Amino acid sequence: MLQPPPSAQQLAYIHLQDLIVSGALPGGSRLKPETLAQQLGISRMPVREAIRQLNAEGYVTILPNRGAVVTTRTPEDVFELFEMRAVLEGLAARIAAENDVADQLDDLQLFLVGLRRLRHDQVAWVERHDEFHDLLCQLSGRMRLCSEARRLRFAVRPYLRLYTRFNAEPELKGHEHERIIEEIRSRNGKRAEAVTRAHVMANAHSIAETLRTAMAEAAAVPAIKTVRKAVAKAAPAPRKKSAAA
């Protein structure tokens, strides 16, 4: 049976979410329904509905009398999102370990081979990394759990991509994906949960610190420009050379 084509609101939602998640629309960017509607070739109403949905999911903040802007998350906000994700994915790993999913783990192992080949391609690695964790959650058979974990991964994806720009190796030693698969294969639910939670949290501190540094540098740029303008304005004008010189 053919799937019905996406509605105008769905198209607008997917388009905006992709721009936000990819980092193309950074925190603080103002969303103008008129401009977006023109870009997508649709009316403004579906765009407004998509913005309301993104607001409900935390991607966008609607400010009174100022319209909608992309949500700016603090390092502490991002760290909390990782904590929540760690709990959900840890639970999924425990349930998977307590079930008989050995035949699916071989496919997951092969998936990791392709993921390792992409470690120097930031954009592709982050997307495939999310796919791995999605497949991992699906081993639990708990689709609502998977959906919530996926939502949290999408929320932190721009920050993970920011982190990979400054770190050649995105995974910390001792917290690799292979360890999660090993523990699920051993069918030790508690151990699988602990290892998965440790894996998700391994880079959380580093990612939060990277964001903190990036925000400080971004804030410093206008300040530096202001100081330079003030110095230039206060500096005495160069003296004109006299005719006798």
Q: Is 190 left (phi over 0), alpha (psi -120 to 50) or beta?
A: alpha
Nearest-angstrom CA–CA distance, 24 and 100: 41
Taking 90 as the threshold, does the pLDDT of residue 81 lie above it?
yes
Do the Cβ atoms of 122 and 139 come closer than 8 Å? no
Measured in whole angstroms, how far is the alpha carbon of residue 29 from the centre of its chain? Answer: 16
User: Same domain for 121 and 184?
Assistant: yes
- Helices (H), strands (E): how many in the chain? 10, 3
User: Same domain for 104 and 194?
Assistant: yes
CA-derived radius of gyration, the chain: 24
Question: Which H or E run contains 30?
Answer: strand 30-31
User: Same domain for 31 and 145?
Assistant: no
- For residue 107, the domain's CATH number is 1.20.120.530
What's the average model confidence in pLDDT over 181-193?
94
User: Same domain for 32 and 153?
Assistant: no
pLDDT digits (tens, 9 = 90+) for 89-126: 999 999 999 998 988 998 898 898 888 888 777 778 88
Query: Is 143 among the domain residues?
Result: yes
62: amino acid identity, one letter: I
Nearest-angstrom CA–CA distance, 26 and 180: 33
77: amino acid identity, one letter: D
- Provide the residue range defining the domain that includes 175: 75-207
User: Same domain for 120 and 184?
Assistant: yes
User: Same domain for 66 and 83?
Assistant: no
User: Same domain for 151 and 59?
Assistant: no
User: Same domain for 33 and 153?
Assistant: no
Give every CB contact of residue 82 below 8 A, 6+ residues apart in sequence.
Answer: 156, 200, 201, 204, 207
Burial of 219 (0-12, 13-18, 19+ CB in 10 A): exposed
Q: Which two tokens stand for residue 2?
A: 């053919």
Taking 70 as the threshold, does the pLDDT of residue 228 lie above it?
no
Query: Is 138 among the domain residues?
Result: yes
pTM of the model: 0.74
Give every CB contact of residue 146 below 8 A, 6+ residues apart in sequence.
Answer: 92, 134, 137, 138, 140
Query: Is 57 among the domain residues?
Result: yes
pLDDT at 244: 47
Angle of helix 8-22 relative to helix 44-56, nearest 10 degrees, comes to 50
Q: Calculate the alpha carbon distances from 103 to 79, 181, 184 in Å.
A: 34, 12, 12
pLDDT digits (tens, 9 = 90+) for 46-77: 999 999 999 998 889 999 888 999 998 888 99
User: Same domain for 192 and 89?
Assistant: yes
User: Same domain for 105 and 21?
Assistant: no
Query: Is 170 among the domain residues?
Result: yes
Q: Of 52, 70, 88, which marks where a domain is finished?
A: 70
pLDDT at 231: 43
Q: Which of 23-27, 96-100, 201-205, 222-226 has the highest mean pLDDT?
A: 96-100
More confident position, 84 or 202: 84
- For residue 31, the domain's CATH number is 1.10.10.10
User: Same domain for 23 and 116?
Assistant: no
Q: Of 51, 70, 89, which marks where a domain is finished?
A: 70
User: Same domain for 85 and 189?
Assistant: yes
**Domains in the chain, number:** 2
Reported as half-sphere exposure (CB side, CA atoms, 13 A), residue 226 has a value of 5
